[in-house]
């Protein structure tokens, strides 16, 4: 019984580590810009799919190279998702600051687009998207040199948007039919895909009557490394100082010459990159599918709210507590532990599924927020007033 409890706590901590990785980026973005990013889970999904692609590339090399692919996958997942976050901030979010409802709806739309994208992405679709970006954004970049660009900007967008889309669609169809690309299957499809862990991450470390999974140990170590790196970046670097300054008082920071727009873009890219790393960690725990992000987004928001917006320590505590509690209840470990007390055992048995465990934890969080609406570590002083 004790070994089962320890195994449940260990597994819960590993899940809490994934939540913490995702919540780090979400807490930074929400604390700095007040943006509720509903696409954060899908950015995690992009990181997981990037890991799957890197794994397939390294399968061709085999041997030692395949055993090391996870480190290249982490770097690739961070870069891909950070670049996507940068594009999302520059193309959508920057126009919606101070409008939380519109931001929520826009990012929710982006999440739906990303889910459908991974289901149907193929060479034809990629060619069309790349050509559209080159034509549309290239035209904006070229015409922005004109001195009267601000006056004609809306007209340029109105003309180039449908024109670029039409050219991209027609070109994609022609190339697809010419080179028989249209008949090829989507890269991923709607079904889940599996990521094979390197050999040194398979198996576990024997401790008493149970094993500590090497993959889960790796996730915990990865989370600790990311937390330390984020802490050092925010407290020991010039850009980290700018981020903290803008978080506390945006207007004063702008008056002091801090480029707040660049800080926003960097922060969103950093938060998205951390979500990509979380997605890489998720791929080691199970299969990856278009709905992977939806399984974590609600828990991630709960971590941010319970821990206190923008509080690193609060996010750590909240992630560990929520992850461990959800796993202990959902796996039935707590019900087995309380078997001698029949009423309590029956109560927790009712919630001994993943979905019902989340319902229970969510209800407990709602009750907790009635007493601590600002979370475990609320903001104080000027940060609240800013």
Q: Among residues 22, 97, 80, which one has the least CA distance to residue 264?
A: 97
How many CA atoms within 13 Å lie on the side-chain side of 16? 24
Contact 263, 248 (CB under 8 A): no
Tokens standing for residue 139: 């035209």
Q: What is the pLDDT along the chain (386 residues), one digit of tens a residue?
A: 566 677 788 888 888 888 888 888 888 787 667 778 888 889 999 999 999 999 988 887 777 888 889 999 999 999 999 999 998 888 888 888 778 788 888 889 999 988 988 888 877 888 888 888 888 888 888 888 888 888 888 888 888 888 998 998 888 888 777 777 655 677 887 788 888 888 888 888 877 777 788 888 999 999 999 999 988 998 888 888 888 888 777 788 888 888 888 888 888 899 899 999 999 998 888 888 888 888 888 888 888 888 876 677 888 888 888 888 888 888 887 878 877 777 888 888 888 887 888 888 888 888 888 888 877 776 665 445 44
Q: Which of 25, 15, 10 is nearest to 315 (CA)?
A: 25
Beta bridge partners of 288: 193
Residues whose CB is less than 8 angstroms from the CB of residue 176 and which lie 6 or more positions away in sequence, other chains included? 123, 124, 127, 182
What pLDDT, in 10s, does the model give residues 65-107? 888 899 999 999 999 999 999 988 888 888 887 787 888 888 8
**The whole model's pTM is what?**
0.85
DSSP at 308: -
Q: How far apart are the first and last CA of the chain?
A: 51
Cα dihedral: 338, 369, 109, 159 (round 10): -160
Q: Which CATH architecture has domain 2-121+186-378?
A: Orthogonal Bundle (1.10)
* The token pair that represents 303 in the structure block: 């971590």
Segment 195-230, tens digit of pLDDT: 888 888 888 887 777 778 888 899 999 999 999 998
Instruction: Give the chain's length.
Output: 386
- The answer to whether residues 319 and 20 touch, using CB atoms and an 8 Å cutoff, is yes
SS3 56: helix
Q: Please tell me the predicted confidence (pLDDT) of residue 350.
A: 83
Cα–Cα distance measured from residue 207 to residue 277, given in angstroms and rounded to the nearest whole number = 28
- Tell me the C-alpha distance between 349 and 293, whole Å: 27
C-alpha 132/C-alpha 170 separation (Å) is: 11
Tell me if residue 34 falls in helix, strand or coil: coil
């Amino acid at each position: 019984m004790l070994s089962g409890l320890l195994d449940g706590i260990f597994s819960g901590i590993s899940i809490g580590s994934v939540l913490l990785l995702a919540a780090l980026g979400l807490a930074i973005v929400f604390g700095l810009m007040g943006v509720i990013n509903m696409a954060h889970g899908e950015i995690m999904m992009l990181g997981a799919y990037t890991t799957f692609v890197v794994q397939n590339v390294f399968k061709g090399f085999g041997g030692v190279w395949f055993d090391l692919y996870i480190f290249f996958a982490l770097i690739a997942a961070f870069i891909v998702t950070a670049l996507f976050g940068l594009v999302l901030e520059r193309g959508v979010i920057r126009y919606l600051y101070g409008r939380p409802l519109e931001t929520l709806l826009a990012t929710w739309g982006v999440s739906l687009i990303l889910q459908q994208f991974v289901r149907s992405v193929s060479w034809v679709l990629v060619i069309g998207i790349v050509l559209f970006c080159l034509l549309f954004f290239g035209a904006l970049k070229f015409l922005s040199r004109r001195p009267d660009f601000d006056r004609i900007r809306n007209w340029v967008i109105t003309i180039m948007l449908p024109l670029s889309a039409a050219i991209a669609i027609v070109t994609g169809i022609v190339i697809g039919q010419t080179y028989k690309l249209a008949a090829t299957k989507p890269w991923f499809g709607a079904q889940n895909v599996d990521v094979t862990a390197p050999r040194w991450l398979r198996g576990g470390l024997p401790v008493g009557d149970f094993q500590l999974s090497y993959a889960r140990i790796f996730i915990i170590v990865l989370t600790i490394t990311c937390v330390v790196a984020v802490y050092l970046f925010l407290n020991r670097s010039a850009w980290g100082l700018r981020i903290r300054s803008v978080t506390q008082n945006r207007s004063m920071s702008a008056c002091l010459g801090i480029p707040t727009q660049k800080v926003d873009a960097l922060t969103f890219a950093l938060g998205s990159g951390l979500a990509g790393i979380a997605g890489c960690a998720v791929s080691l725990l199970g299969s990856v599918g278009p709905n992977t992000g939806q399984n974590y987004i609600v828990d991630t928001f709960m971590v941010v709210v319970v821990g206190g917006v923008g509080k690193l320590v609060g996010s750590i505590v909240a992630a560990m507590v929520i992850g461990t509690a959800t796993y202990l209840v959902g796996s039935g470990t707590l019900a087995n532990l309380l078997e001698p007390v029949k009423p309590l055992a029956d109560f927790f048995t009712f919630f001994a599924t993943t979905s019902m465990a989340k319902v229970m934890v969510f209800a407990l969080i709602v009750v907790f927020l009635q007493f601590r609406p600002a979370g475990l570590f609320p903001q104080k002083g000027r940060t609240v007033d800013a």
